[in-house]
Amino acid sequence: MMVLLLALSACSNTDDSEKDLDMPQIADAGAATAPLNCQTFHTGETISFRYLFTDNVELGNYNIEIHNNFDHHTHSTSAEECEAEPVKAPHNPWVFNQSYCIPPKSISYTAENEILIPDDIDTGDYHFMIRLTDQAGWQQIKSVAIRIE
């Protein structure tokens, strides 16, 4: 039995190389990277989203989600704290939630999307959440604090 166990453990180590154990990465995409932490936008404008996604094996999909931070719940992943507006109650907060595909077999992809900020939304502090997966199911999250005026 112990010999069997040893044999099993010996052969099972051989498939380690097939496994992807690394998360995908979200990085700045040069000077045009947007949105940046603490950046201000205006209603009616467009946010020109641009970030660089990389993975060691194959990228999966990404999602952009924007929600208000009027209550200062602050889950920014940036070390830098932005100056926040006073706490307030939402009336017509902007909710944006959209998933995007990345071409198959990509290990590097510069994501670019134009996101229109509606005219009639509450202005104030928002969180711009970027979520990225790879094909193995690893996820990377980046949270950017933005202000809409």
Give the footprint of another protein on this chain (CB under 8 A).
1-2, 4-5, 8-9, 12, 15-16, 18-19, 21, 60-63, 65, 67-68, 71-79, 90, 93, 95, 97, 99, 129, 131, 133-139, 141
Write down the least CB distance from residue 41 to another protein, Å.
20
Cβ pair 134, 23 in contact under 8 A: yes
Q: What secondary structure does DSSP assign to 44-107, as a single string?
A: T-EEEEEEEEE-SS-EEEEEEEEEE-TT------SSSPPPPPPP---SS---EEEEEE--TT-S
- C-beta of 83: minimal distance to another protein in Å? 16
Q: Cβ closer to another protein: 12 or 119?
A: 12
- Rounded-to-integer distance, Cα 126 and Cα 138, Å: 26
The encoded tokens of residue 37 equal 């932490």
Whole-angstrom Cα distance, residue 23 to residue 54? 9
Nearest distance from residue 118's CB to another protein, in Å? 13
Q: Compare residues 42 and 72 and give the one whose CB is closer to another protein.
A: 72
Nearest approach, Cβ of 106 to another protein (angstroms)?
Answer: 12
- The residue (of 43 and 127) whose beta carbon lies closer to another protein is 127
